[in-house]
């Protein structure tokens, strides 16, 4: 029997939330531990289903992992270069083991990632880039067969600053012979976190905006490293506080990684105060309407598109949200309409919203991690009871969500 969230809307969220490590950093970091046999200690690792999936993947490939709450000890050599199909199907990010595997063992067999409900998500940029670095790629019955006599440094231009492709190429380049320069690389904070993690292992990487220069090294060492805070989780709580007329403080965050959201909330008339590694969000008035365009970092993050769309259904006036990163990331739109939002999406990936004073609680279904977050935000702000199903999605990206929301004063419970 699937579980559901029952939310009685209308309580303003007030108080503090400690933000955990970033899912979208922990996953590539875990994949990159395959590049060294030496002991790696990772701290500030978030408790998420996706992290569990990646741990199973890395264990299956030979690593010995011991966990102690939010810390992991990972050590040992790679003993297999075949990634299990079920795990790659379950989570796209497990495709990131391709580069470390082929880089370390000269061979890798990795299934193509499963489709995701936020549009088609090819891996052509990953594969074209690896070919430029001397990896032979064969694609047979849904699996990638990669082979190399040794990764060779080269210049690689990415047609699009893909986060995954950039991570894949950095991991291949750190063990290459010679120097690789990636042009038009992604600049998300999670990329910088991967670069500093690999540097702490002894890699030679220089990241200058979208140009990432890597000089290969023969082997990598050991390290103890803390995963950077999850800017998307932090942004989600900031938006939830705003939507519920509340006063929320997120702590242990990297304020610079949240600039795009902080500036947009200020523009909507919300008080946003950054003090060291905390951000305080206080709503003094109904938010003004906004125009949002999602872009690669430092643009507005696509992962906060659904959450801020939920907020804008309650803003004053007309708002427009254009999603440019994924080709169909609107699973939350029909569900928000069910709650009474005046919202529609055109075929050019643009959402038009006429803000209303209230939403009304009803039954809604999460279709992906961030669409789920949007529906929770809608339910927290709505009048009446909202029942959210599809919690498997939320569990992939948000740890301790119900616990944190209840601490902030929300009336929410998780039932079978
Ligand atoms: C990462 O996905 C994140 N996931 C996503 O977060 C995030 O939305 C995305 O980056 C953009 O910021 C992880 O880090 C685990 P991309 P990724 O490659 O690497 C196209 C969440 O909710 N593309 O930058 O898959 C692709 O189809 C998740 O936490 C190609 O065309 O994102 C998409 O339209 C969702 N060819 C665009 O680029 C390729 O080879 C951006 O994808 C690769 C990507």
Is the C-alpha dihedral spanning 82, 176, 78, 75 positive or negative? negative
Which atom of ligand 1 approaches the CA of 297 most closely?
12
Give the active site residues: 116
Cis omega before residue 284 (within 30°)? no
Q: How many CA atoms lie within 13 A of 124 on its CB side?
A: 6
Name the residue at shortest CA distance from atom 10 of ligand 1. 163
The number of beta carbons lying within 10 Å of the beta carbon of residue 37 is 18
At residue 1, the pLDDT reads 63
Q: Are 183 and 157 in contact (CB under 8 A)?
A: yes
Three-state SS letters, the chain: CCCEEEEECCCCCEEEEECCECHHHHHHHHHHHHHCCCCEEEECCCCCHHHHHHHHHHHHCCCEEEEECCEEEEECCCCCCECCHHHHHHCHHHHHHHHHHHHHHCEEEEECCCCCCCCCCCCHHHHHHHHHCCCEEEEECCEEEEECCCCECCEEECCCCCHHHHHHHHHHHCCCECEEEEECCCCCHHHHHHHHHHHHCCCEEEEECCEEEEECCCCCCCEEEECCECHHHHHHHHHHHHHCCCEEEEECCCHHHHHHHHHHHHHCCCEEEEECCEEEEECCCCCECCEEEECCCCCECHHHHHHHHHHHCCCECEEEEEECCCCCCCCHHHHHHHCCCEEEECCCCEEEEECCCCCECCEEECCCHHHHHHHHHHHHHCECEEEEECHHHHHHHCCCHHHHHHHCCCEEEEEC
CA of residue 163 to ligand 1 center, whole Å: 6
User: Integer distance in angstroms from the first to the last C-alpha of the chain?
Assistant: 6
Q: Is the CB of 235 under 6 A from ligand 1?
A: no
At residue 89, the pLDDT reads 86
Which atom of ligand 1 approaches the CA of 369 most closely?
22
pLDDT tens per residue across span 230-250: 999 999 999 999 999 999 999
Q: Is the CB of 50 under 6 A from ligand 1?
A: no
Say what percent of the chain tops pLDDT 90: 94
Token representation of residue 243:
């939507």
pLDDT tens per residue across span 360-410: 999 999 999 999 999 999 999 999 999 999 999 999 999 999 999 999 999
Say if residue 267's pLDDT is above 60: yes
pLDDT tens per residue across span 294-329: 999 999 999 999 999 999 999 999 999 999 999 889
Name the residue at shortest CA distance from atom 18 of ligand 1. 162
Say if residue 118's pLDDT is above 80: no
Say if residue 116's pLDDT is above 70: no
At residue 407, the pLDDT reads 98
pLDDT tens per residue across span 78-110: 999 999 988 888 899 999 999 999 999 999 999
Same fold, 4-17+230-415 and 25-226: yes
Token representation of residue 257:
């990684």
Phi-psi region of 262 (alpha: psi -120 to 50; beta: other; left: phi over 0): alpha
- Name the residue among 197, 184, 230, 241 with its Cα closest to residue 50: 230
Q: Which CATH superfamily is domain 4-17+230-415 in?
A: Enolpyruvate transferase domain (3.65.10.10)
Q: Is the CB of 98 under 6 A from ligand 1?
A: no
At residue 120, the pLDDT reads 72
Stretch 160-181: mean pLDDT: 98
Q: Is the CB of 197 under 6 A from ligand 1?
A: no
Name the residue at shortest CA distance from atom 33 of ligand 1. 326
Pick the CATH number of 25-226 from 2.40.30.260, 3.40.50.620, 3.30.300.30, 3.65.10.10: 3.65.10.10
pTM, entire model:
0.97
At residue 115, the pLDDT reads 55
At residue 186, the pLDDT reads 98
CA of residue 95 to ligand 1 center, whole Å: 12
At residue 121, the pLDDT reads 77
Say if residue 45's pLDDT is above 80: yes
Q: Is the CB of 183 under 6 A from ligand 1?
A: no
Name the residue at shortest CA distance from atom 21 of ligand 1. 303
What ranges do the domains of the chain cover?
4-17+230-415, 25-226
CA distance 306 to 374: 5
Task: Output the average pLDDT for the chain.
Answer: 96
Q: Is the CB of 124 under 6 A from ligand 1?
A: yes
């Amino acid at each position: 029997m699937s579980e559901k969230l029952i939310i009685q809307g209308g309580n303003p969220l007030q108080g503090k939330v400690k933000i955990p490590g970033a899912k979208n950093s922990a996953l590539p970091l875990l994949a990159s531990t395959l590049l060294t046999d030496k002991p790696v200690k990772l701290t500030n690792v978030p408790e998420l289903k996706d992290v569990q999936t990646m741990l199973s993947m890395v264990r299956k490939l030979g690593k010995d992992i011991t966990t102690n709450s939010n810390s992991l000890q990972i050590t040992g050599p790679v003993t297999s270069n075949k990634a299990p199909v079920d795990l790659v199907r379950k989570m796209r990010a497990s495709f990131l083991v391709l580069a470390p595997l082929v880089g370390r063992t000269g061979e890798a067999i990795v299934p193509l990632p499963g489709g995701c409900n936020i549009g088609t998500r090819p891996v052509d940029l990953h594969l074209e880039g690896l070919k430029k670095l001397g990896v032979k790629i064969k694609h047979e019955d849904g699996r990638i067969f990669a082979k190399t006599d040794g990764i060779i440094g080269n210049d690689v231009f990415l047609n699009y600053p893909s986060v995954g492709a950039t991570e894949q190429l950095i991991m291949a380049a750190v063990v290459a012979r010679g120097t690789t320069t990636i042009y038009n690389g992604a600049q998300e904070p999670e990329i910088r976190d991967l670069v500093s993690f690999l540097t702490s292992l002894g890699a030679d990487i220089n990241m200058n905006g979208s140009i990432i220069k890597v000089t290969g090294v023969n082997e990598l060492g050991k390290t103890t490293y803390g995963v950077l805070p999850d800017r998307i989780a932090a942004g989600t709580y900031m938006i939830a506080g705003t939507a519920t007329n509340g006063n929320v403080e997120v702590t242990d965050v990297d304020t610079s990684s949240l600039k795009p959201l902080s500036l947009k909330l200020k523009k909507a008339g919300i008080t946003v105060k950054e003090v060291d590694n905390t951000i305080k969000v206080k709503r003094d008035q109904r938010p003004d309407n906004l125009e949002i365009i999602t872009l690669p970092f430092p643009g507005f993050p696509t992962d906060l598109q659904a959450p801020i769309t939920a907020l804008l259904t309650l803003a004053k006036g007309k708002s427009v949200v254009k999603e440019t990163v994924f080709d169909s990331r609107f699973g939350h739109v029909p569900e928000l309409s069910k709650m009474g939002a005046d919202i529609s999406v055109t075929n050019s990936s643009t959402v038009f919203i006429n803000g209303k004073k209230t939403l009304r609680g009803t039954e809604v279904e999460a279709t992906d991690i961030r669409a789920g977050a949007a529906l929770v935000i809608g339910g927290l702000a709505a009048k009446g009871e909202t029942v959210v199903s599809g919690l498997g999605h939320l569990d992939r990206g948000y740890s301790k969500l119900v616990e944190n929301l209840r601490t902030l004063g929300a009336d929410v419970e998780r039932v079978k």
